[in-house]
Amino acid sequence: MRTLVMGGTRFLGIETVEALLARGHDVTVFHRGSRSIEWSRPVTQVLGDRDHIEGLSKLRDHNFDAVVDLSAYSALQTELLLEALPDVKRWVHASTLNVYSPTDLLPWTEQTPEGPYPLWGRYAVEKIGCEHALRRQREGMETVALRFPLVLGPGNYLAREEFVLNRLLDGAEILIPGDGQAVHQYVWIGHAAAALAKATELPVLGYAAYNIASRRCLTSLEGFVRICADVSGTTPAMRFVGGGPTGENLPVFNGVDCVFPFSNENTIGDTEAAERAGLLSPFKPLSEMIDEALKYLVAHPERREWHRTDAESRVLSSLVAS
């Protein structure tokens, strides 16, 4: 297939392009040109800004069978791309479990009511908007939305594994919001990429959504720290700081300025539908995922330079004051 990848030059995007190439796709990557990537096979690159219809105009010179959209973070971005590519029938959208309004009954199926849930702020509002834009589809359009939990992998552009590993390696105290017992679900970067690539060829009628996660990849915040400690051969120093899901009793979780990189709130999707569709990869232990992230971290000394987030500093200051 002739497949366009929106945002294929970092982390999951790079892996997804490779997964598509492995399946024999002719891949074009649309990006801003801020990164230079060498893929295993030739890839056509189109540079532009997806936030404006003028920036997408170069795509009209190409014919695509499918679009894999990894970089749509607003409804407007999805709407502009649909406008720029009126003839493409197959769309694959990278979505998130944060589109759901959490219920006490876990795990959440694809029929769980949508949010937006306040804890996820504007991010959830816009990702729901992206899915709504795709649902208002043209006749004959086939859309697959893959809803991911937290993505793990070496070189993660969000400090997730490295957030914990750096503090463990330097003997620094790790602050954990709430009681640290909320359970999160994870997906390995390679498993997410494989699902995205397979979804381009998945038979669908209209619009279909699937929760995608790595098999048996669940643990609490405290459990995640302990697995990281076991893998790195360190002894964790943990402090449970309360403060609700965010550690500061804030209404919105900020994954960049955070006390801990995951909220203290259960986030688990049911993957039975994805299993039936053949979108799940073989089991990979969470410890192996952490080990690969650790090896990458050690091999890139510049990533060992870290500092406390402002959120951590605020919490530590409040603890000292009290």
Q: What's the pLDDT tens digit per position in 144-200? A: 999 999 999 999 989 999 999 999 999 999 999 999 999 999 999 999 999 999 999
What confidence score (pLDDT) does residue 58 get?
Answer: 92
Sheet holding 90-96, edge to edge: 44-47, 26-31, 2-6, 66-69, 90-96, 142-148, 207-211
Backbone angles phi, psi at 135, to 5 degrees: -70, -30
Q: Decide if 154 contacts 292 (C-beta within 8 A).
A: yes
Q: What is the pLDDT of residues 264-298, one digit of tens each?
A: 999 999 999 999 999 999 999 999 999 999 999 99
Q: Considering all CA atoms of the chain, what is the largest pairwise distance in Å, rounded to the nearest integer?
A: 63
What confidence score (pLDDT) does residue 140 get?
Answer: 85
What confidence score (pLDDT) does residue 138 get?
Answer: 72
Which range (55-59, 124-128, 189-193, 216-220) has the least confidence? 55-59
Mean pLDDT for the stretch of residues 107-130:
97
Exposed e or buried b per residue across 268-292, where buried means at least 16 C-beta atoms within 10 angstroms of its C-beta: bbbbebbeebebbbeebebeebbbb
Q: Decide if 229 contacts 235 (C-beta within 8 A).
A: yes
92 closest CA partner among 209, 212, 213: 209
